[in-house]
Amino acid sequence: MAGWMIGRGNGKSSLLAMWAVFHLFTHGQGASVVVCARSQDQARIIYNIARQLVEQSPDLKARVQIARERMYIPASFSSFECLVSEPQALEGLDFSLCLVDEIGVTPPETVDVLMLAQGKRPTSTLVGIGTPPADPEGGVLHKWREMHRELGDEFIVWREFSADAFQHHDKLCEHCIRLANPAYGDFLAMDAFVTAAKTATSEAAYRRARLCQLIASNEHPFLDADTWDGLSTGLPIPNGAEVVLAVDASLKDDSTAIVVGTVAAKPHFDKLAVWEKPRDDDGWRVPLLDVEQAVREAAKRYRVREVAYDPAYFTRSALVLEAEGLPMVAYPQSPARQTAATNDLHSSALAGLFTHSGDADLSRHVLNATVKESDKGIRLAKASRSRHAPKIDLATALMMAHSRATWLASQQKPRRRAWSFAA
């Protein structure tokens, strides 16, 4: 097995075609070369290049029978064909060389069929080539990459041209372009990257395809940027306002966020604070004492009706704050509760039933959020399972704050005064 991650436009189709032709004519009796791709047209790209190479050589052409999607050498009973990467179409294969194009988006069940087919010969080679998909940690490419890290070349040969370690660099950084594109300076010039950057559907898509950076992107956003931006007033919540706080807490591999929202028929929301794990600091821990202090400080600025919190990681802190007199309310994030709260927040956003401050972190987290769908509705989710996936914790806290603020506003106000610290 072998995996290869390389930026688009580096001539990999031509290189694979040459490899396939070389194997077809030199492997010996019964060579079976197979090219797989997501579609027949895509698989035919490599096959057509290989066909041109053979047809341009009178010696090779005289030894092989050529059809639209298959070459066959009668003298050695050797064949070369292109197939769609569908499991049912690949059952029963007995290949000596299989080339899988764009393995980053190839279904895992397809690769399972191909791996099992390797046991039919003393030697057979399975090669996967591609660029990172939209969910870099959810596919075969990432799985093979991790297998190589654990087991090394003896199990799976892995080679990559990537600028993944430099995601913070500019998208047209020449250093990054050279790392991911061995053809740069040969038949790839800078204008190809300038054009690609301008025409890509997003910067994340460009970085994945051209710089081989493992960046997740949101293919199904919870809210689009126009809808979210249309709810912004650019104003903070004034001191003394009657509010709820919502705390979405974590321990180490994520972020912890606090959102504040007014208790009103049309609530207004703002970021109170957020603590995010630095990308390269595996020893980082959420400073829970700072989180607790931020809640205390908020109680000095506002009239706090509730502090809603997810008890998964904040129970100890909640008990401490409750002992000090703060109105702590547990908000377990069960699927049923999350679904109802997410649907309410989404419909309220589309109807313009709340506003927000326009805070950059809050906006980033909300626009990072995607959704999981079920027959009950939608739930907030990350765009990727990667621990480096874009953060959405402020969006989750917003969901909690919106749920509690709108519910409190719909009730008759209690006789007791909202709680606050003395100035």
Q: What are the residue ranges spanned by the domains of the chain?
A: 2-160, 225-410
Q: Please name the fold of domain 225-410.
A: Nucleotidyltransferase; domain 5 (3.30.420)
Q: Which residues contact 372 (CB under 8 A, 6 or more apart)?
A: 378, 379, 380, 381
385: confidence class by pLDDT, cuts 50, 70, 90: low
Residue-level pLDDT at 160: 93
Q: How far apart are CA 137 and CA 40, in angstroms?
A: 26
The mean pLDDT of 106-122, rounded to a whole number, is: 82
pLDDT of residue 56: 94
pLDDT value of residue 137: 66
Q: What gap in Å lies between CA 77 and CA 73, rounded to an integer? A: 6
pLDDT at 178: 96
Give residue 390's pLDDT. Answer: 78
Tokens (6 digits) for 355? 């506003």
Least confident window among 103-107, 288-292, 356-360, 405-409: 103-107
- What's the pLDDT score for residue 423? 46
Q: Which residue has the higher pLDDT, 366 or 110?
A: 366
Closest-CA residue to 322 (of 406, 419, 407) = 419
Distances (CA, A) of 341 to 43, 92, 230, 382: 45, 49, 21, 16
Percent of the chain surpassing pLDDT 70 = 91
pLDDT in tens, 173-231: 999 999 999 999 999 999 999 999 998 877 888 898 999 998 766 667 888 888 999 99
Phi, then psi, of 60 in degrees rounded to 5: -70, -45
- Average pLDDT (243-272) is 91
Encoded tokens for 156: 């799976």
C-alpha separations of 376 from 84, 173, 221, 395 in Å: 35, 46, 18, 20
Q: What is the pLDDT of residue 202?
A: 75
Q: Thinking of the domain 2-160, which architecture would CATH place it in?
A: 3-Layer(aba) Sandwich (3.40)
Mean pLDDT of 368-390: 74
Task: For residues 158 and 151, give the distance between their C-alpha atoms in angstroms, rounded to a whole number.
Answer: 11
DSSP of 208-268, one letter per residue? HHHH-------SSBSS-HHHHHTTB----PPTT-EEEEEEE--SSSSEEEEEEEE-SSS-E
Residue closest to 138 by CA, chosen among 72, 216, 46, 229: 216
Q: Which amino acid is at 128?
A: G
The answer to which of 137-141, 175-179, 231-235, 243-247 has the lowest mean pLDDT is 137-141
